[in-house]
Amino acid sequence: MIYELAALAAAVLWACTAIISTGPAKALGAVHFNLFRMAMVFVGLLVVSLMTGGFDAVLWAQAGPLLLSGAIGIFLGDTLMFSGLRRLGPRRNQVIFATNAPLAAIIGWLWLGETFQWIGIAGVALVSMGVATAVFFGRRKDETHALESTDGRLLVGICLALGAALCQAVGIVVSRPAMEAGVDPIAASVLRVGIAVLGLFVSYLIHHRALPSIPSRPLLVQTAISGLLGMGVGMTLVQYSLIGAKAGVVATLSSLSPVLILPVLWIIYRRRPALGAWVGAAIAVSGSALLFAR
């Protein structure tokens, strides 16, 4: 159960990080913010891993799958997700991205031979359905206008969001055998984040033809906190959970952020979520209970 709890803890951290990231992401732009966030996380994880001796022979033996996992799951996945977000808006994008959990379960079955009992299948289905319900029906009428806006062809946005979900699922599945082999979770995150930082930096140079400017100190601090909680601790918890939990379960439990963020938003903004959000949350919690009861 400790591995499932680690995946759930990652979802809690990602819910908090989503709120912390809003300000700096808007001020810097998604790509600029993501690049600095990942770069700072990479340096921090690298220092910790060097101090704890995580760079051992087991890590280098599994370096290929971990680098591939980072390139697909983090770099390509995040790029597609932000592109889909711009075209679909956050509501539609989140609903489609919620398919990463069942996709991870299917890919884990096809690639790794992972099997689920009916209670596990029901748990994955309920969590995915609950997250989608909470996002899709969880907005009040006076909030939906901004969330319905689309930019460009709707089909392109849907394909981008589905591509992001697929990349996230593949990234999790690809890294699971490495974690089962005994790779240190922090060192694994160093490789995965490192290849993503390299990809983001190169793409930034190609697109902007200049080095990224350093943000102001307040934005840098907020970005660092966001990276520490979300990418540093959260992603390492996901890697740790893959040691003993199936890829589909990890993807499912770590996808609960849109549900877990509801009470946080209520406390901060003093605005009660719509009924659909609570219905979705109840469905997702029921599915989580089934996964823990397996």
Give the pLDDT confidence of 193-205 residue by residue, as tens digits. Answer: 999 999 999 988 8
Q: Lowest mean pLDDT: which of 30-39, 90-99, 242-251?
A: 90-99
According to the model, what pLDDT value does residue 139 have? Answer: 64
> Distance (Å, rounded) from C-alpha 58 to C-alpha 32?
34
Most confident of 89-93, 151-155, 231-235, 260-264: 231-235
> Distance (Å, rounded) from C-alpha 23 to C-alpha 178?
36
26: its two tokens:
């808007």
DSSP type of residue 254: T
108: its two tokens:
């884990």
Q: Which residue in the block uniquely carries the two structure tokens 């307040």?
A: 218
> Distance (Å, rounded) from C-alpha 100 to C-alpha 252?
8
Q: Which residue in the block uniquely carries the two structure tokens 């890294």?
A: 175
- Does residue 101 register a pLDDT over 60? yes
> Distance (Å, rounded) from C-alpha 152 to C-alpha 88?
9
Model confidence at 145, in pLDDT bands (50, 70, 90)?
very low
According to the model, what pLDDT value does residue 16 have? Answer: 86
**pTM for this prediction:** 0.84
> What is the separation, in whole angstroms, between the first and last Cα of the chain?
10
Pure H helices in the chain? 2-28, 30-52, 57-61, 63-70, 77-88, 90-97, 100-107, 118-136, 144-148, 154-180, 185-208, 217-226, 235-241, 247-253, 257-269, 275-292
> Distance (Å, rounded) from C-alpha 280 to C-alpha 262?
11
